[in-house]
Structure 1
Amino acid sequence: MGSSGASVEAVFFGTTTVYLSDGASGILIDGFLSRPSLLRVAPDLGRITRALSRAGVTLLDALFVSHSHYDHAMDAPEVVKHLGGRLFGSASTLNMGRGAGLAEESMTCIADGDEHRIGAFTVRVLAGVHSPDNRFPGTIEEPLVPPVRASSYRDGGCLSFLITHPGGSLLIHPSANFVPGKFDGLDVDVLYLAIGALGVQPQRFQSDYWRHVVEATRPDLIVPIHWDNFFVSLDRRLRPLPAIFDRFAVTKAFLDRKSEETRIPVRFPEPFEVIRPFAR
């Protein structure tokens, strides 16, 4: 493949795990494929390799972790061990890598404003805040060796990723909160927009979220992420989080209304579906 927009492919794996490739380079954002119950929180190598194989993912240069909660980061070190490449993340994420036995030279600590070239891609790191009611704040202070409690996966700070390529640009925003003004003027082609727990927030918060994330970046397409029930295996159809965690119907109605008002299409991806985000 060349580096035209049509050559860039994206695959969604549920929650916030998204794979991007132009045929020459491969990038994974987050790494959560095992999707275990809360009774035993540990990577499942069988599920990890099956998911990657089903998606045809054999090329990995870089894996960027948005924050170190288990539903974003738990499998990331195992994916790097399986496919190669480099793990990029916070100090907490690197302690997950150490716990999994990754070598220091295969990990890079990242912070707000960093830019990394991965082939024809450039990944810019943008610090943010976790969605309201963060259950497991804090940092992972020492190498984390699973199985452990879900609460051991402290967030370690939240990041979004602006990914540019000769074919186009996209923002992957993995947590449904905002820093006012942070994304002003970014102007992306595609916005991967976290909507987890957005349905239980006040209407004012929802409107502010739209203004500071969507209106600021002016995407041509919105792809919602982090809406699915991540306790359900990827072998089964994606379904929304249970009502105890979120009110998906409220969020869906909000997105439908905003999409109609702004004429920005909203596309819910299927797991393993290959889309070409920059193809016109």
Structure 2
Amino acid sequence: MALDVGPPHYHSRMAAAAPVEATFFGTSSLHVSDGISGILIDGFFSRPSLLRVALGRVAPDRGRITSALSRAGVTRLDALFVAHSHYDHAMDAPEVVKHLGGRLFGSESTLNVGRGSGLAEQAMTRIADGDAHTVGAFTVRPLGGVHSPGNRFPGVIEEPFVPPARASSYRDGGCFSFLVTHPSGAMLIHPSANVVPNQFDGIDVDVLYLGVGALGAQSHRFQDDYWRHVVEATRPRIVVPIHWDNFFVALDRTLRPLPALLDKFATTTEFLRRKSAESGIPVRFQDAFEVIRPFVR
């Protein structure tokens, strides 16, 4: 069930030249298309159970991957950008590229995940902070950052990585946010609930996809600083929280928050309600497979 904080209305600083659409798949997985070019962020569809993650080995589930993409009507891809190389971001990415085509963009650790899955070098591009990558009418700029507090699996993946493997073997390899611009508007996808101070100063966007995983477990000062350096800095028309859902549950079930033992979701939603009221910036949760047109007034 979608949870709304403020009215779910979308505005744009520019009239949309094409109806850019954004489809959410839980965690920080997002498909953005203008009907000509398609970009996927992360693309995590397998969502193995908590028991398997804790006690076993994980690997891409091709059935779940193809089922989710088919349900969303995604039949081809131009680019897949991975925020960092933890399993809930990078594990499925090579299989998605093999299934849909396109190019895998990520850190050297992410490229090693691709190599271990059999992707050719010419199908992958290493990204760095501030690079500009043109995908049709879109421009995607990776912006280097830091993982949310409590990073359990830091480090890098130094050689081709072949699943199945322990979830702990998927080291983060460096974290990125993505500034996606199009003639009809701009959005920032910020998957990890942490920030480098002043990193986004001078960047204005229409829509901010804001990572809130574990945000409720942080101090009030951390939460306020996070809002100030990400939301107030980018001045979005609307905030869409991401990486809040229980990613141990398959996508054929309704999105739900992580259990209270793993995250303080009620604290997060109360914080978002308060900040939305103070700032006048609407906050809206997007359902899995829900399609929005973020730049259409």
* Amino acid of the structure 2 residue aligned with 1:152: S
In structure 2, the residue matched to 1:44 is 61
Q: Distance in 1 between matches of 2:168 and 2:57?
A: 12
* Amino acid of the structure 1 residue aligned with 2:64: R
Q: Distance in 2 between matches of 1:223 and 1:119?
A: 25
Q: Distance in 1 between matches of 2:128 and 2:183?
A: 24
Name which of 78, 82, 95 aligns with 1:65: 82
Asked if residue 240 in structure 1 is aligned to residue 278 in structure 2, the reply is no
In structure 1, the residue matched to 2:30 is 18
Q: Distance in 1 between matches of 2:172 and 2:30?
A: 19
Alpha-carbon deviation of 1:78?
0.2
Asked if residue 164 in structure 1 is aligned to residue 181 in structure 2, the reply is yes
Alpha-carbon deviation of 1:208?
0.4
Q: Distance in 1 between matches of 2:181 and 2:255?
A: 28
Moved over 2 A (4+): 3-6
Instruction: Give ranges in structure 2 of 5+ residues lacking alignment.
Output: 1-14
Alpha-carbon deviation of 1:244?
1.8
- Secondary structure of the 2:201 match is coil
* Amino acid of the structure 1 residue aligned with 2:255: L
In structure 1, the residue matched to 2:223 is 206
- Secondary structure of the 1:223 match is strand
* Amino acid of the structure 1 residue aligned with 2:106: G
Q: In angstroms, what is the RMSD of aligned CA positions? A: 0.9
- Counterparts of residues 1-280 of structure 1 (less than 5 Å): 4=16, 7-37=19-49, 38=53, 39-280=56-297
Q: Distance in 1 between matches of 2:214 and 2:266?
A: 11
Q: Distance in 1 between matches of 2:180 and 2:77?
A: 16
Q: Distance in 2 between matches of 1:105 and 1:6?
A: 30
Alpha-carbon deviation of 1:132?
0.5
Q: Distance in 2 between matches of 1:170 and 1:104?
A: 29
Which deviations, in whole Å up to 9, do the C-alpha atoms of 1:147-168 show, x marking residues without a partner? 1000010000000000000010
Alpha-carbon deviation of 1:5?
5.0
Percent of aligned positions that are identical: 76
- Secondary structure of the 1:7 match is coil
* Amino acid of the structure 2 residue aligned with 1:36: P
In structure 1, the residue matched to 2:9 is none
- Give the stretch that moved more between structures: 190-199 or 32-41: 32-41
Alpha-carbon deviation of 1:6?
5.2
Which deviations, in whole Å up to 9, do the C-alpha atoms of 1:45-86 show, x marking residues without a partner? 000000000000012000000000001111000000000000
Alpha-carbon deviation of 1:117?
0.4
- Secondary structure of the 1:148 match is coil
Which deviations, in whole Å up to 9, do the C-alpha atoms of 1:103-160 show, x marking residues without a partner? 0000000000100000000001100000001000000011111110000100000000
1:241 and 1:248 in contact (8 A); partners too: yes
Alpha-carbon deviation of 1:4?
3.1
Alpha-carbon deviation of 1:258?
0.6
1:6 and 1:278 in contact (8 A); partners too: no
1:162 and 1:169 in contact (8 A); partners too: yes
* Amino acid of the structure 2 residue aligned with 1:20: V
Q: Distance in 2 between matches of 1:278 and 1:4?
A: 6
* Amino acid of the structure 1 residue aligned with 2:21: E
1:5 and 1:279 in contact (8 A); partners too: no
**TM-score normalised over the length of structure 2:** 0.92
Alpha-carbon deviation of 1:99?
0.4
* Amino acid of the structure 2 residue aligned with 1:154: R
